[in-house]
């Protein structure tokens, strides 16, 4: 007690207090806020399997009870959606530290991922994994999705989701290969540098519109090869490589004739 | 037609019999056009593939005019608002947009061949600018801008700038988000100009950006003003080219007083026609298979969104890069209530100003420091003007670094790098890179010149090692033939300017000495390091050097450059 009293004027004391206050508020909110309805029934057996998987694969960084450690976030209250997104895209367990966790082939199968998600969800309420209907691109309106995407997402992910650069080696990944479910979950949980777009911000229907817009982009361009959909830089590069390359080649050929 | 005209001239009494002949005769009797056709058909042009680069630009321009004519039939340059009712593309259905954007979508998805024409037009614009730049590089590095062609170099430069204006104005017409971002940058650049900036911006946009006038205004500029001046200047460019005769590469028998080549008809008429069809074909192929500027990806203009990877077309990329490299903090000064935004003014006005001034001034500068007022019709080999070649490569290096800096986000994502580090590297490279490139290029040129000297004096290494009776080993060198030697010795290596002394005979300081001294300094920079061409005396010396074991003597006109070769070969 004496040691605590001695340090109460430490310059970091307010920060610690603030963090404690926030943690309390967050904890109370998480306990009292209505949790998202989860269609899947989660058995205690799943949670037990998930806990074992967690302790074997995740606890080193996230702590034995997912409480987080220095620089590693707590997973209490992140919800099943966040776990499903991170684990099914292979971002977690993280391959190596770097500017951001890279996607890689998933390390767990669907059952294991679901068990992990169930375990983390049992720690505190959070966004649930979206249902198949919520991410069904065919039910969305791509036109509205386009309007929402370019206002909220295109500044990082490029106009059609071809990806873009962020600061210090971080980046917004291309969305060509990302599954509809993962796109939805990313909006819901805001992984890494991405902001959270909660259901008050972008409603579930609007999220589906965005998914629908992105899925439509995968059909390619009406104009031919989309050249990576990267805009004028790649167009300029190909203008030189293919266009000027062919034309100068032809000029050399014509010049070589008869001379 | 020209042959028909010839025939009628040659066999004056005979009446032409073929329909073409009759038509030509009819025309000739009324206009005497036969004289002009005969003159032009016999005009001699030198032959080289690099002389076709300008042709590529010309033919892309023809394709631009043709496809642009098609597009004007369907485009509506209006910023009035409308709701898009078309079914395609699905992501645009029901959105509020300008009539200009809606008509672009309509032209792409409803008009038969419309999207193809749009894409051909845009690819042609990129190739037009690319071929102009490559053509300029050919002209610069071979010294084709020297007297009497300085004026045509200026005409060409103005053509390039008009090409930029045409590209920029056309790019902004569809009124999509990406081109709107470009216009917004333009607005910012205009506003950065001290004192008159904000008035200019209001003048250009007819009020606060974006207003309702910019698209119709750019339309008039794009389809009337710029192409009109372009056409007139292209005519002048070609007229000067014909009048001054085409330059030729150095080689045996080619001098500043002749032109070695083939007559325009039939050789060049056939080649040019072929090249036109190739250019048109390649552009159509690109338009048909490679998507370009799909404006529905970006959506109708709205000042708020800017997507990642927002860049201008490649020829404006250096400006984008210049803006991206400029540090923003501490470079915006507020003086007496007026903002001086150096963070925009320097990269968007001063840097392009420096680049373009270099291009405009260079021919006159080089003539001045060379003290040269002769006419030149034989081109330089780039190695024979090391400083010019070095400066050109340095200039290109700066241009390329700026263009890469404009693509820094794509470099970051595609090569897994940090955009911050890339930007810092480019900031330093912009200053160090051109100097380094200049120095390396100059040394390479001097090295190549020395290699040429070596070849002229000693011939090619043949790889044959011969042993003399006394045990000495030598390698046999085969002498250069006349053409090879001509190419390597026929150039000028000017010395720095010599100037009159500081004081006259009575010790009075001469007027204008300081200015002369400065020009001499610049001239030294150009010509201090030089490799003189091999003189006949030196060749003679090398020849006689070989005579100690030269037995049969050479009947050839060529000088035996290889040491002791002939005797061993016989």
Domains of chain A: 41-129 (1.10.760.10), 130-220 (1.10.760.10)
Domains of chain B and CATH, by start: 2-39 (no CATH), 44-314 (1.20.810.10), 447-569 (no CATH)
Average pLDDT over residues B134-154: 95
Share of chain B above pLDDT 90, in %: 65
Cβ-based contacts of B311 with chain A (< 8 Å): 231-233
B272, closest residue in chain A (CA to CA): A254
Check if B515 contacts A (Cβ < 8 Å). no
Grade residue A12 by pLDDT with cuts at 50, 70 and 90: confident
3-class DSSP state of B15: coil
Question: B7 is written with which tokens?
Answer: 């025939």
End-to-end Cα separation, chain B, in angstroms: 58
Q: Are A147 and A139 in contact (CB under 8 A)?
A: no
Q: Residue B561 has what pLDDT?
A: 40
For B474, phi then psi, to 5°, come to -135, 160
Q: Are A223 and B104 in contact (CB under 8 A)?
A: no
Is the pLDDT score of B552 beyond 70?
A: no
Q: Are A196 and A188 in contact (CB under 8 A)?
A: yes
Grade residue B10 by pLDDT with cuts at 50, 70 and 90: low
Cβ-based contacts of B279 with chain A (< 8 Å): 247
Q: Do B123 and A244 touch (CB under 8 A)?
A: no
Q: Residue B238 has what pLDDT?
A: 94
Q: Residue B550 has what pLDDT?
A: 42
Give A121 to chain B, closest Cα distance, Å. 34
3-state helix, strand, coil in chain A (%, to 5): 55, 5, 40
Query: Of the segments A70-79, A249-258, B154-163, which one has the largest average pLDDT value?
Result: B154-163
Q: Are B285 and B113 in contact (CB under 8 A)?
A: no
Grade residue B3 by pLDDT with cuts at 50, 70 and 90: very low
B residues 120..149 contacting A (CB < 8 A): 122-123, 126-127, 130-131, 134
Cβ-based contacts of B88 with chain A (< 8 Å): 222
Q: Do A171 and B412 touch (CB under 8 A)?
A: yes
Q: Do B410 and A172 touch (CB under 8 A)?
A: no
Q: Residue B480 has what pLDDT?
A: 87
B315, closest residue in chain A (CA to CA): A236
Q: Residues B122-143, buried b or exposed e (16+ Cβ, 10 A)? A: bbbbbbbbbbbbbbbbbbbbbb
Q: What is the pLDDT of residues B351-382, one digit of tens each?
A: 999 999 999 999 999 999 998 889 999 999 99
A153, closest residue in chain B (CA to CA): B307
Average pLDDT over residues A201-223: 91
Question: What's the pTM value of the predicted model, to 2 decimals?
Answer: 0.86
Give A193 to chain B, closest Cα distance, Å. 15
Q: What is the DSSP letter of A138?
A: G
Give A73 to chain B, closest Cα distance, Å. 24
- What is the rounded CA–CA span in Å between residue A57 and residue A107? 10
Average pLDDT, chain B: 89
A148, closest residue in chain B (CA to CA): B305
Grade residue B546 by pLDDT with cuts at 50, 70 and 90: low
Q: Residue A65 has what pLDDT?
A: 86
Give A108 to chain B, closest Cα distance, Å. 26
Best CA proximity match to A236, nearest among B372, B125, B328: B125
Is the pLDDT score of B558 beyond 60?
A: no
Is the pLDDT score of B1 beyond 50?
A: no
Q: Residue B556 has what pLDDT?
A: 37
Q: Do B178 and A231 touch (CB under 8 A)?
A: yes
Check if B236 contacts A (Cβ < 8 Å). no
Exposed / middle / buried, residue B382 (Cβ in 10 Å: 0-12, 13-18, 19+): buried
Q: What is the pLDDT of residues A158-174, one digit of tens each?
A: 999 999 999 988 999 99
Q: What is the pLDDT of residues A23-49, one digit of tens each?
A: 998 888 877 765 554 445 567 778 888
B residues 263..292 contacting A (CB < 8 A): 267, 271, 274-275, 278-279, 282-283, 286, 288-292
Q: Residue B13 has what pLDDT?
A: 56
Q: What is the pLDDT of residues B403-421, one digit of tens each?
A: 999 999 999 999 999 999 9
Q: Residue A258 has what pLDDT?
A: 52
Give B33 to chain A, closest Cα distance, Å. 30
Grade residue A257 by pLDDT with cuts at 50, 70 and 90: low
Q: What is the pLDDT of residues B235-289, one digit of tens each?
A: 999 999 989 989 998 888 888 888 888 888 888 888 999 999 999 999 999 999 9
Q: Which range (B49-63, B292-306, B317-331, B542-556) has the least confidence?
A: B542-556
A258, closest residue in chain B (CA to CA): B267
- What ipTM describes this predicted complex? 0.86
Q: Do B409 and A165 touch (CB under 8 A)?
A: yes
Exposed / middle / buried, residue B373 (Cβ in 10 Å: 0-12, 13-18, 19+): exposed
**Whole-number Cα distances in Å, B480 to A179, B378, B458, B557:** 68, 22, 9, 11
Q: Which of A221, A226, A240 sits opposite B130 (nearest CB)?
A: A240
Please calculate the CA angle B121-B125-B130 and round it to the nearest 5 degrees: 145
- What is the rounded CA–CA span in Å between residue B384 and residue B446? 8
- What is the rounded CA–CA span in Å between residue B170 and residue B219? 7
Give B404 to chain A, closest Cα distance, Å. 9
Q: Do A151 and B109 touch (CB under 8 A)?
A: no
Is the pLDDT score of B4 beyond 90?
A: no
Which has more pLDDT, A74 or A31? A74
Grade residue B545 by pLDDT with cuts at 50, 70 and 90: low
Cβ-based contacts of A147 with chain B (< 8 Å): 95, 299
Q: What is the pLDDT of residues B457-513, one digit of tens each?
A: 988 888 889 999 999 998 888 888 888 888 899 888 999 998 888 888 888 888 888
Is the pLDDT score of B55 beyond 90?
A: yes
Which has more pLDDT, B540 or B368? B368
């Amino acid at each position: 007690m004496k040691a605590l009293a001695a340090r109460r004027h430490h310059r970091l004391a307010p920060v610690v207090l603030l963090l404690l206050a926030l943690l309390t508020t967050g904890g109370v909110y998480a306990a009292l806020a209505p949790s998202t309805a989860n269609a899947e029934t989660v058995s205690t057996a799943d949670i037990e399997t998930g806990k074992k998987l967690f302790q074997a694969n995740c606890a080193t960084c996230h702590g034995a009870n997912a409480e987080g450690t220095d620089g590693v976030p707590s997973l209490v209250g992140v919800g099943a959606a966040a776990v499903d997104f991170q684990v099914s895209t292979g971002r977690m367990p993280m391959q190596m530290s770097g500017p951001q966790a890279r996607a890689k082939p998933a390390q767990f199968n669907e059952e294991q991922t679901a068990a992990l998600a169930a375990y983390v969800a049992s720690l505190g309420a959070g966004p649930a994994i979206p249902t198949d209907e919520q991410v069904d691109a065919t039910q969305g309106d791509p036109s509205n999705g386009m309007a929402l995407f370019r206002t909220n997402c295109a500044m990082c992910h490029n106009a059609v989701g071809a990806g873009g650069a962020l600061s210090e080696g971080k980046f917004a990944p291309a969305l060509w290969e990302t599954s509809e479910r993962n796109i939805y979950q990313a909006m819901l949980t805001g992984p890494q540098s991405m902001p959270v777009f909660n259901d008050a911000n972008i409603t579930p229907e609007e999220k589906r519109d965005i998914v629908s817009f992105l899925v439509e982009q995968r059909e390619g361009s009406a104009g031919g090869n989309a050249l990576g959909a990267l805009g004028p830089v790649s167009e300029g590069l190909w203008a030189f490589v293919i266009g000027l390359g062919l034309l100068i080649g032809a000029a050399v050929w014509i010049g070589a004739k008869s001379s | 037609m020209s042959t028909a005209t010839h025939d009628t001239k040659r066999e004056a009494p005979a009446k032409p019999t073929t329909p073409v002949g009759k038509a030509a005769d009819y025309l000739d009797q009324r206009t005497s056009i036969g004289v002009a056709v005969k003159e032009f058909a016999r005009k001699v042009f030198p032959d080289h593939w690099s002389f076709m680069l300008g042709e590529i630009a010309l033919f892309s321009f023809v394709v631009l005019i043709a496809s642009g004519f098609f597009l004007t039939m369907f485009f509506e340059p209006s910023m009035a608002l409308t709701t898009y009712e078309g079914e395609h593309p699905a992501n645009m259905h029901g959105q509020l947009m300008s009539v200009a954007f809606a008509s672009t979508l309509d032209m792409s998805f409803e008009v038969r061949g419309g999207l193809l024409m749009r894409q051909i037009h845009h690819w042609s614009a990129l190739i037009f600018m690319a071929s102009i730049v490559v053509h300029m590089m050919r002209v610069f590095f071979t010294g084709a801008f020297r007297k009497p062609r300085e004026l045509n170099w200026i005409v060409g430069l103005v053509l390039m700038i008009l090409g930029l204006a045409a590209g920029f104005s056309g790019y902004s017409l569809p009124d999509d988000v990406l081109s709107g971002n470009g216009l917004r940058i333009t607005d910012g650049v205009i506003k950065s100009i001290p004192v008159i900036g904000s008035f200019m911006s209001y003048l250009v946009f007819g009020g606060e950006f974006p207003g309702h006038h910019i698209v119709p205004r750019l339309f008039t500029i794009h389809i009337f003003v710029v192409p009109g001046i372009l056409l007139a200047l292209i005519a002048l460019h070609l007229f000067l080219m014909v009048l001054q005769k085409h330059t030729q590469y150095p080689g045996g028998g080619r001098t500043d007083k002749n032109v070695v080549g083939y007559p325009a008809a039939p050789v060049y008429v056939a080649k040019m026609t072929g090249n036109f069809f190739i250019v048109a074909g390649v552009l159509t192929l690109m338009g048909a298979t490679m998507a370009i500027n799909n404006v529905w990806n970006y959506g109708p203009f709205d000042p708020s969104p800017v997507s990642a990877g927002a860049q201008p077309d490649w020829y404006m990329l250096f400006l984008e890069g210049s803006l991206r490299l400029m540090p923003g903090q501490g470079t915006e000064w507020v003086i007496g209530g007026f903002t001086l935004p150096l963070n925009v003014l320097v990269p968007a006005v001063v840097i392009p100003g420096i680049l373009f001034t270099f291009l405009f001034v260079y021919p006159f500068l080089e003539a001045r420091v060379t003290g040269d007022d002769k006419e030149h019709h034989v081109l330089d080999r780039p190695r024979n003007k090391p400083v010019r070649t070095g400066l050109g490569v340095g200039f290109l290096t700066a241009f390329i670094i700026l263009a890469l800096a404009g693509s820094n986000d794509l470099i970051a994502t595609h090569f897994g790098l940090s955009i911050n580090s890339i930007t810092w590297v480019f900031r330093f490279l912009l200053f160090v890179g051109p100097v380094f490139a200049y120095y390396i290029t100059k040394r390479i040129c001097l090295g190549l010149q020395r290699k040429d000297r070596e070849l002229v004096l000693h011939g090619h290494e043949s790889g044959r090692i011969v042993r003399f009776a006394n045990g000495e080993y030598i390698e046999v060198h085969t002498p250069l033939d006349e053409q090879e030697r001509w190419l390597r010795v026929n150039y000028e290596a000017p010395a720095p300017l010599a100037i009159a002394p500081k004081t006259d005979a009575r010790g009075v300081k001469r007027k204008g000495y300081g200015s002369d001294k400065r020009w001499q300094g610049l001239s030294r920079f150009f010509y201090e390091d030089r490799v003189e061409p091999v003189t006949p005396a030196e060749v003679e010396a090398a020849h006689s050097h070989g005579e100690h074991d030269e037995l049969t003597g050479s009947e050839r006109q060529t000088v035996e450059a290889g040491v002791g070769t002939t005797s061993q070969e016989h």
